[in-house]
Amino acid sequence: MRIRLCLAALSLVGGACAATVTAPAAAAAACTDIDVVAARGTFEPGTLGLIVGDPVYSALQRKITGRSLSSYKVNYPADLSPTSAAQGNADLVNHVNSQAAACPNQRFVLVGYSQGANVVDNSIGISSAGAVVGSPIVATIPAALEPRVAAVLLFGNPIRAIGKSVTGTYQSRTIDFCAKGDPVCEAGGNDTLAHLGYTANADAAAAFAAGKV
């Protein structure tokens, strides 16, 4: 695993982004029962994300039986550029809109780790502006599609370090893991390695989601 995943991010405080970010048109995938939309962390390798996305998707496949699952890796830089999270925000919303139109009965599980949690936060209407590798909101999942978001699974969520959390419409469907001492999500945290340990929470997150779908 790459320690630089959060070491570089810790030195960056996300600021306001004036750029307009748009995502390319998304092609709908197969109409499974549940589409798992995962936004990886900064510089995180892996298909959906080595630390969170991949193990969470595997755990969801074990926990959610009798229904078909698909996955989507949010297409964004996941780097330290000032518009990175905004690009992910636009792509996630674009994907959900496209899938929802093509697959009227499909539901969604949103997964976000580190910067990817900022992406998910923005997409459900909670701004990550001012958080580490955050950005202002550029797109939100439409209210008409909100009931089709079954669960929101967040890990090392940077907005928590600035005193924010998911509230309102999605609160009861959200589980938000912040490891003790993780400086990305805990103000004053000083255990950098804690930010890399969220694979351990994959089963708990999947069990939570299974109870919501």
Can you tell me whether residue 154 is helix, strand or coil? strand
Which of 71, 84, 114, 128 is labelled catalytic? 114
Catalytic, 54? Answer: no
CA 5-8-130 angle, to 5 degrees, is 105
Which of 35, 91, 176, 182 is labelled catalytic? 182
Which of 35, 71, 95, 195 is labelled catalytic? 195
Catalytic, 84? Answer: no
Q: How far is CA 47 from CA 52, 54, 79, in A?
A: 10, 7, 16
Tokens 């699974």, residue?
A: 153
The secondary element (H helix, E strand) that includes residue 113 is: strand 107-113
d(C-alpha 2, C-alpha 64), whole Å: 30
In sequence order, the β-bridge partners of residue 109 are 36, 151
d(C-alpha 151, C-alpha 35), whole Å: 11
Catalytic, 121? Answer: no
Can you tell me whether residue 93 is helix, strand or coil? helix
Positions marked catalytic: 114, 182, 195
